[in-house]
Amino acid sequence: MTQLDYGSYLQLSKLLSAQQLESAKKGTVAHDEMLFIIIHQTYELWFKQILYELDLIQSIFSGAVVDDAALGGAVHAAERIVRIEQLLVSQVDILETMTPMDFLEFRNLLMPASGFQSEQFRLIEVRMGLKREARLAFDGASFDARLTEEGRRRIAAAEAKPSLREQVDAWLSRTPFVDMGGYRFREAYQAALNAMLAQDMDVLRNHPHLSVSEKETQLASLAKSRTMLDGLLDEKHFAQLQKDGVWTFSRRALQAALFLFLYRDEPAPHSGFRMLNALMDMDEALAIWRLRHALMVSRMLGRKVGTGGSSGYNYLRATADQHRAYNDLFAIATFLIPRSALPPLPDEVRKSMRYRYEG
């Protein structure tokens, strides 16, 4: 019986023979093509790990109840995804050791292959919660048009299942503390936030270093925030805001998320807050990776189109801003108030959210 060794366990014979240089096939090796291939193969390996972690997270959030003990595992997996995404960003630094002229040595040999054909990356987007209708037009075609027919079927199958974003929305909507024990969090919180917004408006109106137009702009922004808050507090108003795309999460989920952010120092809400924070970190790290990729494309290609015929920098740059699954969670920061102004929790609610050890 053959003993397992390092090389066979990692299948290194397959892995290290998977770098086939197109330039070598043409008779003149472009030295930097090896780097280009290894970087992108590494991306795909990390994409596979991200999808593997999403399998665990989504299995935890798939039930009617999310077990508190299992939630810790979901948080850990989400935080691991964030670390992987941060590594993907740092890999751009290595890729940028290749100069534009180095890339030109083999670029034309890659056509029409393109990173837009990464099925795994599209699956990550879909499973995190990026909707087809929320995507920017991709050169007049669907975002999955460049994939194989089989790849498009797998994307469609993923879209037919609940995304992590939808699962998190359902989980948040079941948060019990918001109305527990006759305590009306919304009413107590509204009074505290109204006081803060009124103070902010007063500061703006009397600010000695802002022009009239600057004051008007800032006051208009606060007024918009007031409108968004009214939507959270009034069901009919919220329905219109959701129709207009101002909010995309459900109203109940947003209220619960706000509660978790505000009372994150209490033991029971803390794991929930960490989960939401990890989702925001995932969204942010992916946006940074898109931006770094866009800047790299601009640096390498200037105004040329990509190898797959894409519109290049402008499209990639726009996706960094708009292809976001958790913008609603970022918007909640608008309604955070200082800890010193937090409405005190009734004893019944406070005790239910803390660990009590009685001897």
Q: In the 8-state DSSP scheme, what is residue 335?
A: G
Q: Please give the pLDDT value at position 224.
A: 80
pLDDT at 52 over 80: yes
Neighbours of 52 (CB within 10 A): 12
pLDDT band, residue 194 (cuts 50/70/90): confident
Tokens of 192: 């505290």
Task: Please name the residues in contact with 159: beta carbons below 8 A apart, sequence gap of 6 or more.
Answer: 126, 132
Q: Return the closest-CA partner of residue 351 out of 202, 116, 183.
A: 183
DSSP per residue, 36-57 = HHHHHHHHHHHHHHHHHHHHHH
Domain containing residue 112: CATH number: 1.20.58.480
With a pLDDT cut of 70, the percent of the chain lying above it is 93
More confident residue, 190 or 155: 155
**Location of structure tokens 């979901």:** 74
Q: Encode pLDDT of 2-18 as tens digits.
A: 789 999 999 999 999 99
Sign of CA dihedral 18, 22, 26, 31: negative
In a domain, 2, yes or no: no
Residue 224 within a domain: no
- Return mean pLDDT, the chain: 89
pLDDT at 13: 96
pTM: 0.89
Q: Is residue 21 situated within a structural domain?
A: yes
Q: What band does 305 get if pLDDT is binned at 50, 70 and 90? A: low
DSSP class per residue in 88-154:
HHHHHHHHTTS-HHHHHTTGGGGTT--GGG-HHHHHHHHHHT--GGGSPPBTTB-TTTTS-HHHHHH
The pLDDT assigned to 195 comes to 83
User: Regarding predicted confidence, which is higher, 267 or 169?
Assistant: 169
Range of the domain at 169: 10-177+249-352
Average pLDDT over residues 309-314: 64
> Looking at the domain assignment, is residue 295 inside a domain?
yes
Q: Confirm whether 127 is domain-assigned.
A: yes
287 found inside a domain? yes
Q: What is the mean pLDDT of residues 145-163?
A: 95
Domain count across the chain: 1
Q: Tell me which of 58-62, 65-69, 100-104, 274-278 is least confident.
A: 65-69
75 lies in some domain: yes
pLDDT band at 352 (very low <50, low <70, confident <90, very high): confident
Q: Which two tokens stand for residue 16?
A: 């290290």
Local confidence band at 58 (pLDDT 50, 70, 90 cut-offs): very high
Residue range 71-100, pLDDT digits in tens: 999 999 999 999 999 999 999 999 999 999
pLDDT recorded at residue 273? 96
Structural domain includes residue 193: no
Q: Which residue has the higher pLDDT, 124 or 1?
A: 124
- Ranges 31-35, 132-136, 226-230, 298-302: which has the least confidence: 226-230
Position 304 scores a pLDDT of: 63
Q: Which two tokens stand for residue 143?
A: 């975002």
For tokens 């959270």, the residue is 232
Residue 57 has pLDDT above 60, yes or no: yes
pLDDT band of 196, cuts 50, 70, 90: confident
| Predicted pLDDT of residue 244 | 86
Buried b (16+ CB within 10 A) or exposed e, 235-269: eebbeebbeeeebbbbbbbbbbbbbbbbbeebebb
